[in-house]
Amino acid sequence: MLFALPVTVGVLSGLGFEEKVRRQTLYHHRCTLCNRMLRRDINRLADPDDWVLDLGTKHGDKAIHIDAKVVAVDIELKPTHDGLEYVLADGFQLPFRTGAFDYISCSQVFEHIPDTEAFVAEISRVLKPEGVAMIDFPNRLFPDKPHTPPGYFSLLPRPLAIRLAPYLLEPDVADYYKNHVYNLSPIGARKALTKHFGSIEYVTLREKAEYRAVFLGEQPDPVYTPGKGAKVFAKMFPLITLLTRFPPVGWLFELFYPHAAYECRRPKRQRDR
């Protein structure tokens, strides 16, 4: 029995905010690739009888190819795949018993969470003691353009950014930023993760290594087309991997690289903390 609370299974209409497709295309393509990286890690570990929670997936696209029993959870749903169980639920109060899942995938979600620590606590609660949670998000310390606002907005303190948004952004973008974007750094993520997991491993480089041929442009990808920066990074990857074995370099890389991914094990229950 997975569920511990009443749930609603079905479809909820969209937010009503039309994202600027032209400005978001590249970012969404990178997100798709990040989703596949996490999915590949879980698929490599999971058995067909394992339960996998795909947390924060409106359509279920992020975990559709995982060979296990997958439950897709979001605060709004648009079920598009057979073979998945869709559950309409809030990530801060998941309707599942403690220790229900063998694996949890949470890709490109943390940047929308106002209280990271409380969200991580729920992930830890529903994960089995021997389970694995795979988490990734865009790093706020890299001036990228996640979710439409200009790149520098992720570097600003949130109170200042909210105050400036009505003057610097289009009204719908300013509203979306204020209500749905909570940029996160690896420092903030590690603070929350360390409180609720006994083992946290930064796995961004490991995931990138498995897709090096895609970044080099040697292996065609149905969605992602690497730019010059990605190709240069891929060519330098062996050197970067070597240098990041030294803690100061590894810490700096984690702190400023645009994509942060973590493999979390040994969930701590309330009594353990």
The angle subtended at Cα 27 by Cα 21 and Cα 31, nearest 5°, is: 120
Q: What counts of helices (H) and strands (E) characterise the chain?
A: 10, 7
What pLDDT does residue 115 have? 97
Residue 205 in contact with residue 186, Cβ under 8 Å? Answer: no
Q: Which residue has the tokens 């940047």?
A: 111
What pLDDT does residue 148 have? 67
Query: Considering the entire predicted model, what is its pTM?
Result: 0.87
- Decide which of 35 and 107 is more confident: 107
Average pLDDT, the chain: 85
Three-state DSSP class for residue 270 = helix
Residue 84 in contact with residue 53, Cβ under 8 Å? Answer: no
What pLDDT does residue 184 have? 94
Give the tokens for residue 81.
């795949």
- Decide which of 220 and 115 is more confident: 115
Give the tokens for residue 120.
């991580």
The arithmetic mean of pLDDT across residues 3-18, rounded, is: 42
What pLDDT does residue 146 have? 61
What pLDDT does residue 8 have? 42
pLDDT tens across 172-207, in order?
889 999 999 999 999 999 999 999 999 999 999 998
State the Cα torsion 138-143-144-150 to the nearest 10°: 120
Residue 73's CB: how many other CB atoms inside 10 A? 26
pLDDT tens across 246-262, in order?
999 999 999 999 999 99
| pLDDT of 123 strictly over 80 | yes
What pLDDT does residue 221 have? 79
Percent of the chain with pLDDT over 70: 85
Nearest-angstrom CA–CA distance, 269 and 66: 27
What pLDDT does residue 107 have? 92
The arithmetic mean of pLDDT across residues 204-220, rounded, is: 89
- pLDDT tier for residue 15 given thresholds of 50, 70 and 90: very low
pLDDT tens across 22-32, in order?
444 445 555 66
Percent of the chain with pLDDT over 90: 58
Residue 88 in contact with residue 8, Cβ under 8 Å? Answer: yes
Q: Could you please report the per-residue DSSP string of 179-229? A: HH---B-HHHHHHHHHHHEEEEEE-HHHHHHHTHHHHHTSS--SS----HH
What pLDDT does residue 58 have? 83
pLDDT tens across 20-62, in order?
444 444 455 556 667 777 778 898 899 999 999 999 988 888 7
Looking at residue 149, its amino acid is P
CA 61 → CA 2, 81, 82, 246, distances in Å? 22, 8, 11, 37
Query: What's the DSSP call for residue 65?
Result: T
